Amino acid sequence: MPRDERPRLSRRAWITTTSGVIAAGLVKTQSDAIKLVAQEAPSDPTKVPGRLVSELGTRAPAEQPKRLVRAQALSSSSRTPLADLMGTITPADLHFERHHAGIPDIQFEDHELLIHGMVERPMVFRMPDLMRYPQVSRIRFLECSGNGGGVYNRERMPTEVTVQALDGLLSTSEWTGVAVSTLLREVGVRPGASWILAEGGDSAVMSRSVPLDKVMEDSILAYGQNGERIRPEQGYPLRLFNPGYEGNTSVKWLRRIEVTDQPTHTRDETSKYTDPLGDGTVRQFSLVMDAKSVITFPSYPYVLPDPGWWEIRGLAWSGRGRITRVEVSTDGGRSWVDAALQGPILDKSTVRFRHLFDWNGRDTVILSRATDETGYVQPTVEQLWEARGTRTSYHQNHQRAWRIARTGEVTFGLGELV
Amino acid sequence: MRALAAGLCATIALLGACTEGDRTAAGAAAAPGEVAMAGTPEGIPSHAPARFGFGSEASDARVAMWDIDVRPDGEGLPAGSGSVAQGRDVYNVHCVACHGPTGTEGPNDRLVDSEQWDDVPGTRTVGNYWPYATTLYDYIRKAMPQLTPGILSHDQVYAVIAYILWMNEIVPEDAVMDAETLPAVVMPARDKFVVDDRVGGAGIVR
């Protein structure tokens, strides 16, 4: 509810109602009285007692960030409201979703993980088994490689589009679970193995091949997210989590890992999640998410009410390691300045960047560009077009732009630059 | 609790690690035929045993029950077979509503386009984009028909694949698909696929 539409009750009216109820004998205990008081927003909260403790907290009534749902279908997605968030951690109930056959209902007690293939001892693990293994926690981003795909098309470059609609298939959590390497050590990997196949227990039986080196390096079987058990839409009770890799490989509702000596070439690594490069070839197993940044404020549909000091804020991340630098341009890319990075800067996690900007009230375009520890610089859209042609829809990590009009209105501004 | 402890001891005994003396430090030499892992994996302290024994061994039958993926070399394909004609019937009962009478009308993914491409694909379908025919088996068996996955018999899956490949002008009308013929189908787009060459680094855009 917008702030100015909140019901107001004058103190006098409040006393009248309350005493009426009290007179009617409806308030029997102090707790009844406090409950009654709390139902009605008093004009001066220092003059009335507040609400009691509760078993489960809720957001302030006026603060209701929501995921953006485009289509109600079994194979669909919802997007994180990036512009509503602060810092780097995404509240678990706002973490983006992408399912290919809906969210299965799986019981913790029933779930089993089978690990087999090129191993010495094929094994089945139940959740209590997995939770008994040494535990690890990692703060990491997860991004769908289709994130931002919609803004790439030269023919239909939108202007009235939110950062949530554009890039909301990005979230960051603290993921807790058991390192994949711990379990592969347990089952004993045979020589010659080079890939795994990870398979979900949803009705799409989502299947992806992942290089063995990768999962040995830093992948986890996650059962926890931001301090609680993973949510059903994030793969409850168990998901694979491959830091820095395209989200689809972090198979949810994980029920099987087969250790193999070759990729399986499943539908979601051939028909989908591949990149036709414009020269007759198709790039396959483009797994790492390259460095990227987005300005989350100011962004559409925000309207800057007046010129003067404004803080440009955003997020930067790289699937290849740490972010080392984020630059911001407030003149359409002609000049760049270093933004301040909020530490700690973690491996394969989002970093909050900020830049204080004295807006002179004129029309301008603002951009950000990230650099990661490999030295890779987030490219311009033309550079990506040059390298990959114009028909690729995944891995659109090019620089984003916002146009600030004289009126203070902010719109997506990439079209201004190409 | 006692039952749990006993069960656990049995598991551990099975793995031959019941006595203190059997416990080896992590990172110790792997058993013959295993890949030695360099050092101790992250998250495992150096005093941890070589194996914990939490979990149970999976029998061959248990593995077979879930091991349903199919690879380009044909590994994983079950016994059975199906013809284009049989596949037409399967398709018209189980698939037509979502993929259209000729596999091009939708409302869901287009399954047919035999028009090939040089630089950029117009559509990305089985006929002009999929590199391996075996992926059809892997995917349809697992995920299709979308509302009732798993209802088709092996013969029906082979048949509907034969029909889809025929609609895409990849196999002739008298084709029969089985564990031998399906991996032998050469898909038109197979050689277009190249492995990711992005590496990060300064001055590189790929």
Q: Which domains does chain B have, with CATH numbers?
A: 21-52 (no CATH), 61-192 (1.10.760.10)
CA-to-CA distance for B152 and B138, rounded, in angstroms?
A: 13
Put simply, the answer to whether A204 touches B143 (Cβ < 8 Å) is: yes
Q: For position A36, what pLDDT does the model report?
A: 58
Mutation target for B interface from A205, A284, A385, A386: give the one with most B CBs within 10 A.
Answer: A205
Stated length of chain A: 418
Query: Which of A185, A266, A283 minimises the CB distance to B41?
Result: A185
Q: For position B45, what pLDDT does the model report?
A: 81
Mutation target for A interface from B1, B24, B69, B116: give the one with most A CBs within 10 A.
Answer: B69
Q: How far apart are the first and last CA of chain B?
A: 57
Query: Which of A178, A188, A216 minimises the CB distance to B34?
Result: A188
Closest residue, chain B, to A268 (C-alpha): B139
- Walk along chain A (418 residues) in steps of 10 and give the mean pLDDT of each run: 38 40 51 58 86 95 95 92 98 97 97 98 98 96 92 76 96 97 96 98 98 97 98 98 98 98 98 95 98 98 98 98 98 97 97 98 98 98 91 92 98 88
Q: Are A95 and A173 spatial neighbours (Cβ–Cβ below 8 Å)?
A: yes
A372 chain-B contacts, CB cut-off 8 A: 200
Which of A259, A113, A239, A242 lies closest to A184 in space, CA to CA? Answer: A259
How distant is the Cα of A327 from the closest Cα of chain B, in angstroms? 15
- Max alpha carbon distance in chain A (Å)? 82
Look up tokens 């202007």; give the residue: A159
A207 chain-B contacts, CB cut-off 8 A: 69, 138, 142
Put simply, the answer to whether B131 touches A290 (Cβ < 8 Å) is: no
Q: For position A153, what pLDDT does the model report?
A: 67
How distant is the Cα of B80 from the closest Cα of chain A, in angstroms? 21
Put simply, the answer to whether A255 touches B66 (Cβ < 8 Å) is: yes
Which residue(s) pair with A69 in the sheet? A78
Which of A277, A307, A306, A301 lies closest to A394 in space, CA to CA? Answer: A277
CATH number for A68-273 (one of 3.90.420.10, 3.30.390.10, 3.40.50.620, 3.40.50.850): it is 3.90.420.10
Residues of chain B with confidence (pLDDT) below 50:
1-31, 36, 38-39
What ipTM was reported for this prediction? 0.87
- Is B206 part of the contact surface with chain A (CB cutoff 8 Å)? yes
Strands A220-225 and A123-126 turn out to be unpaired
Task: Locate the domains of chain A by residue range.
Answer: 1-58, 68-273, 292-413
Closest residue, chain A, to B151 (C-alpha): A203
Q: For position A37, what pLDDT does the model report?
A: 55
A292-413: CATH number: 2.60.40.650
Closest residue, chain B, to A132 (C-alpha): B54
Q: Is B155 helix (H, G, I), strand (E, B) or coil?
A: helix
| Dihedral angle sign, alpha carbons of residues B83, B88, B93, B96 | positive
Interface A–B counts its CB contacts (< 8 A) at 208
Closest residue, chain A, to B205 (C-alpha): A387
Q: Where are the beta strands (DSSP E) in A373-408?
A: 401-404
Q: Where are the beta strands (DSSP E) in A57-164?
A: 68-69, 76-79, 97-99, 112-117, 123-126, 136-143
Query: Which of B34, B132, B200 minimises the CB distance to A120?
Result: B34
Contacts by residues A6-11 (CB-CB < 8 Å, ≥ 24 positions apart) = A6/A41, A6/A62, A7/A40, A7/A41, A8/A41, A8/A43, A9/A40, A9/A41, A9/A42, A9/A43, A10/A43, A11/A42, A11/A43, A11/A44, A11/A47
How distant is the Cα of B11 from the closest Cα of chain A, in angstroms? 11
Tell me the pLDDT tens digit for each residue of B118-172.
Answer: 999 999 999 999 999 999 999 999 999 999 999 999 999 999 999 999 999 999 9
Locate A394 and state its tokens. Answer: 């995944």
Q: For position B72, what pLDDT does the model report?
A: 98
- Is B203 part of the contact surface with chain A (CB cutoff 8 Å)? yes
Q: For position B32, what pLDDT does the model report?
A: 52
Which residue(s) pair with A282 in the sheet? A276, B193
What ranges in B15-83 are assigned the alpha helix state H?
Answer: 60-66
Q: Chain B 90-119, CB below 8 Å of chain A: which residues?
A: 117-119
Q: For position B24, what pLDDT does the model report?
A: 33
Look up tokens 């380009």; give the residue: B72
Mutation target for A interface from B8, B35, B196: give the one with most A CBs within 10 A.
Answer: B35
Q: Where are the beta strands (DSSP E) in B133-184?
A: 176-178
Query: Which of B42, B57, B124 minimises the CB distance to A271?
Result: B124
Which of A183, A261, A187, A259 lies closest to A222 in space, CA to CA? Answer: A183
Q: Chain B 45-64, CB below 8 Å of chain A: which residues?
A: 45, 48, 50-52, 54-58, 62-63
What phi, psi does B111 have (nearest 5°)? -105, -10
pTM of the model: 0.88
Put simply, the answer to whether A129 touches B54 (Cβ < 8 Å) is: yes
How distant is the Cα of B139 from the closest Cα of chain A, in angstroms? 6
Closest residue, chain A, to B203 (C-alpha): A376
Q: Are A365 and A402 spatial neighbours (Cβ–Cβ below 8 Å)?
A: yes
Q: For position A149, what pLDDT does the model report?
A: 84
